[in-house]
Structure 1
Amino acid sequence: MASTKPELLFDVPNLFRIYKDGTIERLTGNEIVPPSTNPITGVQSKDVVIDQETGISARIYIPKTTIPDHKKLPLLVYFHGGGFIIETAFSPTYHNYLDSLAAEAHVVIVSVDYRRAPEHLLPIAHDDSWAAINWVAAHSNQGGPEVWLNDYVDFNNVFFAGDTAGANIAHHMAVRVRLENPKGFHLVGVALVHPYFAGTEPIGVERDNVIGKSMRDKIWPIVYPTSSGLDDPLVNPVMDPNFSKLGCDKVLVCVAEKDFLRDRGLYYKEELEKSGWGGVVEVMDSEGENHVFHLFNPTCDNAVAMLKRLAAFMN
């Protein structure tokens, strides 16, 4: 009797399996935790729906210091990672990390839950993220639907950040800010943590790490099958004619010594400096660490140092 199990297309052990019929098994990132008030940090969080039709939503965090005095604070719009395929804004991994970041940096955070591939292929994740940014900007005159944004946010002091796929999104959102100029807020800076970028021409460790390059490069046509390839500006931003048009004043690129994506992050920094953009770009390199180590071991010395660096970047 013939097997009815669909043929496997792509398997990333312990992360996900995608089958040729389009179905997916997500092996991690499926757990969600509710919003809360953290008894230790005092950070409060709540969930909001940004678009009822598409289901775009977000989790908002406010630090304890905002509660008694309604002080206007910087705003961080955060885009989670996971290769555009796994994780959500509501997973314990991101909830715990952003709760800590809100407390350390004394910022309001909007963590965007965009739709994921392969059910929703790129550029849907980017379009959802842009819709979320415009929803945020609609609060700049204190007339938006979310009271926390109306009451607590200084819209002249806005930041974007994300890790891996979320860092990819953060870069492209910063370019769209410059090109489309949403009214009501000033984007000060963008922090890219272990960004997911690629390219046809191998650089750095990509020349020798055939397995790592193959794993990274196979994801791209799965999440964006109509892409032009690995030099598509959406995954290789240096190829974008608008690369130098970041709508912010400064960029922080965080890389990790043992991360396969490290050289792409450093290459991004070097090319941005040469592009004529005009802002300031810095790198934080975490010695001895691997990809998104800070999410898996948030109390280690290097993770604490990164948390403090991100907080300083926004203050």
Structure 2
Amino acid sequence: MSDDGDDDVVHDFAPLIVVYRSGRLKRPFADAMQPVPPGTDAATGVVSRDVHLSASLFVRLYLPPAATAAAGENKLPVIVYFHGGGFVIGSAASPAYHRCLNDLAAACPAIAVSVDYRLAPEHPLPAAYDDSAAALAWVLSDTDPWLAAHGDLSRVFLAGDSAGANICHHLAMHHGHDLHRRLKGIVLIHPWFWGKDPIGEEPRGGEAMAAEEQKGLWEFVCPDAVDGVDDPRMNPMAAGAPGLEKLACEKVMVFVAEGDTLRWRGRAYAEAAAAARARGGDAAATVELLESEGVAHVFYLFEPGHEKADELLRRIAAFVSSK
């Protein structure tokens, strides 16, 4: 958008996004990172390439070295990954996500598909949900040569961090494409959920500014939100939200971080998912929760050598590979 000289700030969600009265946008955090192309990763041997599904939607596929030995009856699971960034920043081509997906594909091993969905405010929700659903439908169509040759589409996992974890939940709840038969599990890393009433040790009283920031950003990216942050898309445990027994997957894994304001919502989600499965007579269904101590929101993207990042990667690999 053009700058007409009006520098009055009307929305300040720095460092994610700043919106000026003129319509000009700044994304300080994202603007500091240049996109990286696909190719062969020297550290892992993973090969990646981009596939454009439309003029505004592409996915980046990752093929680990193990795929060459996984033909025929020994195909690899498929992980569809959705990046975070509050629905306003992030890209499958960002350096942090590109490195993360190379590491993830190699560690599992799995065919990974990283989705580059449209961002708000240029494309407010449900654009990101719609793009993500379209990308998932494309994966399940089995038309890509890498997926057809090396991917086991009866073992599909959805994974994502923050807003991307929110997308995973949304897709698993509002499923089509025969997901109950094909979706093995969802991996929610530091999921972006919120609600009107504080839970756990969420900000209260004089600390409520942090809560207002969560509320403000959600209503900015989702202007048609029903009941603000108690919209079921942001608060899966809100009164009237669909029950988590509707999740179209066999297994659920939730990661939270000790230094993350969102950790209480992640814990509550894992507890609610386990309770829903027990009520439905599926008490043996797997719901795992891991809290990383001494680290903050999506730390693993920017501290890949951290011991807690290694633990997170190992736990995802075990989750994906287990029966």
TM-score (norm 1): 0.92
Residue identity opposite 1:237 in structure 2 = P
Structure 2 distance, partners of 1:185, 1:134, is 14
Decide whether the 8 Å contact of 1:194 with 1:262 is kept in 2: yes
Decide whether the 8 Å contact of 1:17 with 1:26 is kept in 2: yes
2:91 to 63, 80, 88: 88
Task: State whether structure 2 residue 302 is matched by structure 1 residue 296.
Answer: yes
Structure 2 distance, partners of 1:120, 1:43, is 32
Decide whether the 8 Å contact of 2:164 with 2:191 is kept in 1: yes
- Residues 231-254 of structure 1 show CA distances to partners (whole Å, capped at 9, x for unaligned) of 101101123224320000110000
- Residues 164-214 of structure 1 show CA distances to partners (whole Å, capped at 9, x for unaligned) of 00000001111123xx24379610000000000011111122243323212
Structure 2 distance, partners of 1:58, 1:270, is 32
Structure 1's 184 and 256: CA in aligned 2 closer, same or farther, altered over 3 A?
closer
> Where in structure 2 are there 5+ consecutive unaligned residues?
none
> Where in structure 1 are there 5+ consecutive unaligned residues?
none
Q: Which moved more, 1:74-83 or 1:211-220?
A: 211-220
1:133-282 matches, within 5 Å, as 133-139=136-142, 144=143, 146-177=144-175, 180-182=176-178, 186-208=182-204, 209-228=207-226, 229-239=228-238, 240-275=241-276, 276=279, 278=282, 279-282=285-288
Decide whether the 8 Å contact of 1:157 with 1:185 is kept in 2: no
Structure 2 distance, partners of 1:84, 1:25, is 14
Structure 1 distance, partners of 2:14, 2:300, is 20
**Is the partner of 2:114 in helix, strand or coil?**
strand
**Is the partner of 1:233 in helix, strand or coil?**
coil
**Is the partner of 2:202 in helix, strand or coil?**
helix
Structure 1 distance, partners of 2:70, 2:108, is 17
- Residues 24-55 of structure 1 show CA distances to partners (whole Å, capped at 9, x for unaligned) of 21112242100010122110000001124xx2
Tell me the CA shift for residue 69 of structure 1: 5.3
Please tell me the root mean square deviation across aligned C-alpha atoms, in Å: 1.8
1:314 to 301, 305, 320: 320
Structure 1 distance, partners of 2:267, 2:50, is 35
Decide whether the 8 Å contact of 1:22 with 1:118 is kept in 2: no
**Is the partner of 1:230 in helix, strand or coil?**
helix
Structure 2 distance, partners of 1:20, 1:244, is 44
Structure 1 distance, partners of 2:135, 2:14, is 32
Residue identity opposite 1:5 in structure 2 = D
Identity of aligned residues (%): 42
**Is the partner of 1:172 in helix, strand or coil?**
helix
Structure 2 distance, partners of 1:257, 1:102, is 26
**Is the partner of 2:246 in helix, strand or coil?**
coil
Query: Which residue of structure 2 aligns with residue 44 of structure 1?
Result: 47
**What is the number of residues matched between the two proteins?**
304
Query: Which residue of structure 2 aligns with residue 62 of structure 1?
Result: 63
Structure 2 distance, partners of 1:15, 1:281, is 31
1:7-18 matches, within 5 Å, as 7-18=8-19
Structure 1's 21 and 205: CA in aligned 2 closer, same or farther, altered over 3 A?
farther
Decide whether the 8 Å contact of 1:138 with 1:184 is kept in 2: no
Residue identity opposite 2:166 in structure 1 = N
